[in-house]
A = this chain, B = another copy of it.
Amino acid sequence: MSANPYETGLDMTAANYQPLSPLSFLPKAAFTYPDYTSVIDGEARHTWAGTYARCRRLASALAQRGIGKGDTVAVMAPNVTAAFEATFGVPMLGAVLNALNYRLSAGEIAFILDHGEAKVLITDTEFSPTIEAALKQVKNPPIVIDIEDPAGPGGTSLGELNYEAFLATGDPEFEWNLPGDEWEAISLNYTSGTTGNPKGVVYAHRGTYLNAMGNAIAWGLHDHPVYLWTLPMFHCNGWCFPWTITALAGTHVCLRRVEAKPIYDAIADHGVSHMCGAPVVMQAIAGAGEGERREFSQTVKMFTAAAPPPAAVLAEMARQGFDVTHVYGLTEVYGPCVVSAWKGEWDELPLDEQSRLKARQGVAYQVQEGLIVANPDTLEPVAMDGESMGEVFMRGNITMKGYLKNPQATEEAFAGGWFHSGDLGVWHPDGYIELKDRSKDIIISGGENISSIEVEDVLYKHAAVAAVAVVAKPDEKWGETPVAFIELKADGEATAEELIAFCRDNLAHYKCPREVVFAELPKTSTGKIQKFVLRDQARGAAE
């Protein structure tokens, strides 16, 4: 017997192996389609050749400030040109992009800047009040670069240079390299998770490359889509769409404000073909007033996630010219990795039945290897009967590298070789999964995760509070909102308004309870608060 001949003389070389990285898409777009429109942002237009030069300028300017491999660059911005350019310009150096949720409070931002060790912060002046306060709290203040957007509301400049002046210091022909290893980090995205402090989810070049492809394949994208940025780029790097749309040399249409009028204007004026967003975006579109709507001839395809789209909204979206696909994911899986793949034969079903099918989260992306609903302790898959509850688990190449500087949380999240989503659901006989309950400690409001524990931690700091439980209350507009059930101390005194104001001083506003209920909290015999009772109560109150 000879040895395996396929293992001899057939090694990886520079000719036949290159690390996977979504950065490779940008020079290709610039090379083949140099004068195609890459970015539309208010009155500004960029071409692919121009965008590539600007991203190289950004990398070069950062390199001149000493930024290099493994350094973190944070961005606090709405969906503007700079936020998009950072998805290429930062990792071109081997540096790591940390896009910040601009709805967070100064304290939360300060925590993230410290934990992520950001060396540079590129920040839109709209958020200067928050950032100014945050910078006073951080241990090692980063270099600050201001985005002074003429379309923005103005605001104080905090840094040494503005973004355009900073770019001007960079070389448009800067020589950069793909990562030496496709497992290197490309970005850092903080998630509320279920514990008090946010966790830093680290993405790899390999995973973002594959999910950029995965989006295109799952959606059947053609060359040159016109993509409207209704989904925040700070959410899982815009679900990897900065890289998907660039791979296809499409057009990124920026959008500062996710409101009905600018959405309709962009669709009508720029021929938008695709967009993503939480149900709250659909509601803005479906509920638009007369002066906000515009006529357009194309069908706009939309990916939505975070909550099943309600039947009435889906019907109205279809009437308005939108073709909605329901996807599901989490920050830990690069954004969507599950799609409610639509079967042609379902077109014939009654609308309610269609809506019921579309509300299911669906099946795994082609690029995600595994998706199961299973017993959280044994990882034994549940019966595919549409009734047996289990936790949703994923595995494969579009699962995060892990949580930054948190090996214990990483180990727990990956116990047994699967990512534990914390979401609970069933598995239907046709293989589609459907969430039946979010992880008990997560509230999703307007597409944003809120950790009930984080809110509880704040309320426990109030002198009058004896016990607290925060749960989700169904909400027509936001999907869910947090409601706080509170037991005051015997000698404690506080009004609902005072407690909400206390939260707003310590948390992003969207995380704060909309409602406070004073009551004795139901507890188990061992003293554990029975949140399910409170959830039922909140749900009942909303109906």
Interface residues of A (CB under 8 A from B): 2, 4-18, 20, 24-25, 28, 31-33, 69-70, 96, 117, 183-185, 202, 207, 213, 216-217, 220-224, 247-248, 341, 343-344, 363-364, 366, 369-370, 394-397, 399-402, 404-407, 410, 413-414, 417-419, 431
Known A-B contacts: A16-B419, A213-B217. Give 4 more (CB < 8 A). A10-B404, A16-B397, A24-B369, A32-B363
**Residue among A13, A20, A396, A419 having the largest count of chain B Cβ atoms under 10 Å:** A13
- Are B363 and A405 in contact (CB-based, < 8 A)? no
Chain B, residue nearest A6 (CB): B185
Chain B, residue nearest A14 (CB): B417
How far does the Cβ of A275 sit from chain B's closest Cβ, in whole Å?
Answer: 18
- Are B418 and A117 in contact (CB-based, < 8 A)? no
Inter-chain contacts of A397 with B (CB < 8 A): 16-18, 20
Given A217-B216, A369-B24, verify A6-B399 contact (CB < 8 Å). no
**Residue among A14, A15, A419, A431 having the largest count of chain B Cβ atoms under 10 Å:** A15
Inter-chain contacts of A370 with B (CB < 8 A): 18
- Are A18 and B395 in contact (CB-based, < 8 A)? yes
- Are A15 and B117 in contact (CB-based, < 8 A)? no
Chain B, residue nearest A247 (CB): B366
- Complex: A24 Cα to B395 Cα, angstroms: 13
Chain B, residue nearest A68 (CB): B4
Inter-chain contacts of A33 with B (CB < 8 A): 343
Chain B, residue nearest A418 (CB): B15
Given A15-B395, A183-B12, A400-B16, verify A5-B405 contact (CB < 8 Å). yes
- Are B70 and A6 in contact (CB-based, < 8 A)? yes
- Complex: A396 Cα to B182 Cα, angstroms: 13
Inter-chain contacts of A20 with B (CB < 8 A): 397
- Are B70 and A15 in contact (CB-based, < 8 A)? no
Inter-chain contacts of A413 with B (CB < 8 A): 15
How far does the Cβ of A514 sit from chain B's closest Cβ, in whole Å?
Answer: 36
Chain B, residue nearest A71 (CB): B4
Given A17-B397, A397-B16, verify A404-B5 contact (CB < 8 Å). yes
Chain B, residue nearest A183 (CB): B12
* Pairs of residues from A and B, 7 with the lowest C-beta to C-beta distance, nearest first: A14-B417, A4-B70, A220-B222, A9-B407, A6-B185, A16-B399, A10-B401
Inter-chain contacts of A417 with B (CB < 8 A): 13-15
- Are A9 and B223 in contact (CB-based, < 8 A)? no
The answer, among B12, B343, B401, for a CB contact under 8 Å with A16, is: B401
What are 27 of the A-B contact pairs (CB < 8 Å)? A5-B70, A6-B70, A6-B185, A6-B401, A10-B185, A10-B402, A11-B401, A12-B183, A14-B395, A14-B417, A15-B395, A15-B399, A16-B397, A16-B399, A16-B400, A17-B183, A18-B369, A18-B396, A20-B397, A31-B363, A32-B341, A33-B343, A217-B247, A220-B220, A220-B221, A220-B222, A220-B223
How far does the Cβ of A117 sit from chain B's closest Cβ, in whole Å?
Answer: 7
**Residue among A5, A6, A17, A70 having the largest count of chain B Cβ atoms under 10 Å:** A6
- Complex: A370 Cα to B396 Cα, angstroms: 27
